[in-house]
Amino acid sequence: MNDQIMYVNGREVKIENEENLLQLVRKANIEMPTFCYHSELSVYGACRLCIVDIEGRGICTSCTTKPENGMKIKTHTKQLRDIRKISIELLLANHDQSCQTCVKTASCKLQKLAGELGVDKVRFDKTESIKPLDLSSEALVRDPNKCILCGDCVRACYEIQDVGAIDFSNRGSSITVSPAFGKSLAEVECVDCGQCARVCPTGAITPKQHTEEVWNALADSKKIVIAQIAPAVRVAIGELFGIKPGSLMIGQIVTALKMMGFDKVFDTSFAADLTTIEETNEFINRLSKGEKLPLFTSCCPAWVKFAEQYHPELLNNLSTCKSPQQMFGAVVKEVLPEQTGIDKKDLVVVSIMPCTAKKVEANKSEFVKDGIKEVDFVITTQELASMIKESGINFEALSPESLDLPMGFKTGAGVIFGNSGGVSEAVLRYAYEKVNGTKLTKYDFSEVRGSESIRETSVKLNGTEVKLAIVSGLKNANELIRKINSGEAYYDIIEIMACPGGCIGGAGQPVTFDEGLKSERTKGLYDNDKMLQLHKSQENPYIQDLYKNLFSDPGSNHAHDLLHTSYQNRKRILHSELSIMSDNNAAEKIEVKVCIGTNCFIKKSQSLISQILKFVEEKELQHCIDVNATFCMEKCGEGPNVLVDGIHIKECTLNKTVEVINNRLSKLKTRQVEI
């Protein structure tokens, strides 16, 4: 078959497997400007920056046009350059231009493209008024004044996470991106993963900063400040200092933290080893009894919140183990005060994480005991880098220092927790030896590794086949859960990470739009595993000492009190109702509230609302009945749920509703009605 070719600016370019002209042009070493194009998201064509001039067709967006044999295109004619510059100028005209103080300044695409396209002035007047910031979330800050309406955040929330916490609202010049019904991020179904912030090209959505609180703790002479460093941070922070992606920088991080004033620097991988022991024993116990399977991992707080919001029927299947972050905080605040004489309230634990959801997790009420949090502050990889720069520390020139003992010691199993599949592999390294009673000579379980978003494998444990699934991205988790619920698939243990690729792709990591860069981070953690002397959590001598001196056995009463947690169904939209039918002139009226939360909606609550409205109108009861839609009654397993004057009706139908309404009408001395 003859090769197919195109002509890009008069030069031949071979057509291979390119899906669109944008990919082909970039293959020809021409970098086309884009805001809305991401290889992991659907093609959108909204920003109109990647336009090309196609001979015989005119100007088209390259991201939405397929290559064709013999096609001739130009990428930088005067007309194309002028259109791009005007587009950038229009965006800048209504953009908050406080670039010097914006946290996204070093990675802002708008700023970068304005410079590259030669935009040195803005000729258009600002027309929009200043909008308030949304500071409600502990994970994220939303600044609508910096939004360029590219839609990247909306698509990430829908297409990667299947959540849809934000979307376009209004029309024309009033269009904006916001949570549902004008609510704040903290009031809606956001799971705090921050993937919207990861793809946002400007500073419209960014991880919330908590560095000032950490500086204040370091400045307080009464406080002992301890850091824990998550596995994924060590292979990504170097990118913010011009160091090759995937480079292991844990020693330099320790040095920098000590120079900033941290008293002790430990490793979250130590707690990951502890999590492996607890979770594996929990899994083996469930497997032996054949109950509460499949076991879902619980290390990722965004996944846990997603399950609590959308799949309350699965909460008994979640591992009761706390995440490594919270296990670490719980152990440190249990052990160090007793060992050192430090008052627990003067012990400050700072987590350095790749994740924005960890910020919310640390503030959950179940992780606060006697008014003292297990983890006091969470900062991201990005925030750590900003603190290092603020300190004037020449990070790339630092000599490495070692982590403190005992909680700075870890095995390779704890380190690979930062990759999708890492938790499963760590569990297998322990479960295989514990169940089979034989020592592993080869510790790698490469079958759980890979870049696919959904992977599955099986292993034999004492003759029993155990099926595993590894998932990254909550939309993929939803698809897998659907198959399990329908009987299409069965697994014994399922690992779920909200961020693509696992923690290495967290929203707190250095901003990148290069998928190959995330692969380097993944490789860095597996290389780190190989460099360590121990590769199985059960071999960690300090974990063994912890059980000997504190917990006795995995899953013991004390271990369960300190290292395990419970889950609950959580509201998606707080304190919200939509009034559908109301007569404000009625002296006394019956309130009917119909839940339209996800589970009730699936069980046809919307249809039930229509039936109730029709009934009220036909019987001319508008004067004494208000009908409202509400968003969660936290009884998802009993839906559709309806409240009539506070009386809860589970598995509700129109007949059940009318029966309760008639009872209420009789008390109001009003005529009763029939369907």
Active site residues: 279, 282, 299, 319, 358, 361, 366, 503
DSSP 248-309: --HHHHHHHHHHHT-SEEEEHHHHHHHHHHHHHHHHHHHHHHT-S-SEEP---HHHHHHHHH
CA dihedral 115, 121, 123, 128 (to 10 degrees): 70
207 is written with which tokens? Answer: 């991880």
Under 8 Å between Cβ of 294 and 317:
yes
Q: How far apart are the C-alpha atoms of 485 and 483, rounded to whole Å? A: 6
| Closest among 264, 242, 214 to 384, alpha carbons compared | 214
Q: How far apart are the C-alpha atoms of 213 and 225, rounded to whole Å? A: 12
Can you tell me whether residue 544 is helix, strand or coil? Answer: helix
Q: Please give the angle made by the CA atoms of 15, 17 and 23, to the nearest 5 degrees.
A: 75
Q: How far apart are the C-alpha atoms of 640 and 19, rounded to whole Å? A: 44
Q: How far apart are the C-alpha atoms of 123 and 119, rounded to whole Å? A: 10
Please give the DSSP secondary-structure letter assigned to residue 626: E
442 is written with which tokens? Answer: 């080869």
Q: What is the number of other CB atoms lying within 10 angstroms of the CB of residue 403?
A: 23
Q: How far apart are the C-alpha atoms of 589 and 530, rounded to whole Å? A: 70
187's CB contacts (< 8 A; 6+ apart) are 136, 179, 573, 574, 575, 576
- Report residue 22: phi and psi, to 5°: -60, -45
- H or E element, residue 486: helix 474-486
Torsional sign, CA 50, 54, 60, 63? negative
Please give the DSSP secondary-structure letter assigned to residue 564: B
Task: Say which residue the tokens 């290390």 belong to.
Answer: 299
126 is written with which tokens? Answer: 């600002």
Under 8 Å between Cβ of 104 and 148:
no
Under 8 Å between Cβ of 629 and 609:
yes
**Which CB contacts under 8 angstroms, 24+ apart, belong to 566-569?**
566/320, 566/366, 567/304, 567/307, 567/308, 567/315, 567/318, 568/308, 568/315, 568/634, 569/308, 569/309, 569/312, 569/315, 569/632, 569/634, 569/635, 569/636
Strands 590-595 vs 625-630: parallel, antiparallel or unpaired? parallel
Can you tell me whether residue 176 is helix, strand or coil? Answer: strand
